[in-house]
Structure 1
């Protein structure tokens, strides 16, 4: 299959909340009982900064990315949504796609909160949980600290292309909805909730990430009984800069074989 083909796009709506699913069939639906990948974005952004990883993972199995209500080009809800609300939306979307088991949820930033909560809500659906750049460190549970960390990351650790995607998505999201959901993100007790996840957990971070600092990521991994993998030279949006390496770590974690590179090596 030509991997340059764009993913199939489907709008989904539940309880007046609208989202969008981007689907790339891999080697068929759950080939030989294998996993399905679901990529979940963080606050203010959309599927776009996960697109490289989505494409890389679709070489192994079916890959799905989601634009959640209020983000990307999706309409803004009339009320503030909790992490639990977003997790329920994700589970409903997967059910409509016919995915009822063996899903690998891969969240980034606030998307890690959505992934953790979804895995708690439906343990039978999620076989693995991947947390990339997880938030929020209780030691830095302050809006100004988080804002400063994001600025430092954008200026010192990210590529121009990832900055363009992220900040153009922030513009589309708008300050009103971003700030409304920021409080939700800041208040979510990640350390407590991740300990309740029954599926195996993998923590991924860029070594230069000032948002998901090393100490915090290691504490979180310990709470989850998880392995942690750090990528040198990368910031918060680690999946954009180190796409192939991140994809390979996730494949290995999910029990899938390595994918041959363009020169035929693995």
Structure 2
């Protein structure tokens, strides 16, 4: 498929396969790329001290100029960094299930989860699965796939990238006003971490950013609500790219 290029960036501990349900809905209208972030998938483990800038630099060469970036969770922070520091790459920015300017209480909660991950990756992964999927209608096979992906991570690499996720919003938050690309922020109504309040903050911080809250959804929008997410993306793109109606 030739057409506008859509670059999908995944969350911490996941890989490009998290985007498969969304890719299936959009690949007829877009050239879809879903590169793995450094330290994820088949890429080498992320070293201690890796930064948000390192993660962004590690994927920038795979992004053609003028792409539409859609980042999920950690991938959203990476996409925001690129929109600030490599604006020539970013025709539009969509932040899916993104944290933003955590409060002290929210920061303490994520640092506690980081401590759990550093002590016991398996326990951390199990807790994440409950936070992401409890109360949803996502099937057991998909949950098992997510669990297998989490457990396949190099433990040190996972913690190194999780640390970026836990602290990266404080780094990029003061820079969000510099983003000039059209922007959209999407999260689930019931997301316990990337909350609707955070999406409201994000929309306020990025000039002209729209906010969409998907009713009844939790954190894993690409697999829990691919149709709703694809529809939100299509509506957003339709405002400045002709010929791409809602799905």
Separation in 2 of the partners of 1:154 and 1:242? 12
Give 5+ residue unaligned stretches, structure 1.
Answer: 1-25, 261-265
Please state if 1:234 is matched with 2:202.
no
The residue number in structure 2 matching 1:211 is: 193
Please state if 1:171 is matched with 2:151.
yes
Cα deviation, residue 36, structure 1? 1.0
Q: Secondary structure at the match of 1:195?
A: helix
Contact 1:149 1:211 in 2 (8 A): no
The residue number in structure 2 matching 1:5 is: none
Please state if 1:106 is matched with 2:70.
yes
- What aligned pairs does 1:71-220 form with structure 2 within 5 A after superposition? 71-94=40-63, 99-101=64-66, 103-135=67-99, 138-139=102-103, 140-142=106-108, 143-144=111-112, 151-157=130-136, 159=138, 160-188=140-168, 189=170, 190-220=172-202
- What aligned pairs does 1:22-33 form with structure 2 within 5 A after superposition? 26=1, 28=2, 30=3
Contact 2:6 2:33 in 1 (8 A): yes
Change (3 A) 1:218 1:161: farther
Q: Secondary structure at the match of 1:66?
A: coil
The residue number in structure 2 matching 1:8 is: none
Change (3 A) 1:145 1:176: closer
Task: Please report the TM-score for the alignment, with normalisation by the length of structure 1.
Answer: 0.77
**How many residue pairs were aligned?**
225
Separation in 1 of the partners of 2:214 and 2:190? 8
Q: Secondary structure at the match of 2:87?
A: coil
The residue number in structure 2 matching 1:9 is: none
Post-superposition CA distance 1:151-170 (Å, at most 9, x none):
43332346234422322111
Among 228, 231, 234, the alignment partner of 1:251 is: 234
Separation in 2 of the partners of 1:214 and 1:64? 27
Give 5+ residue unaligned stretches, structure 2.
Answer: 115-123
Separation in 2 of the partners of 1:131 and 1:158? 23
Post-superposition CA distance 1:7-41 (Å, at most 9, x none):
xxxxxxxxxxxxxxxxxxx2x2x4xxxx3100000
Divergent runs of 4+, >4 A: 145-150
Structure with a larger share of its residues in helix: 2
Separation in 1 of the partners of 2:47 and 2:160? 11
Separation in 2 of the partners of 1:158 and 1:116? 30
Change (3 A) 1:180 1:165: same
Structure with a larger share of its residues in strand: 1
Q: Secondary structure at the match of 1:173?
A: coil
Separation in 2 of the partners of 1:71 and 1:158? 27
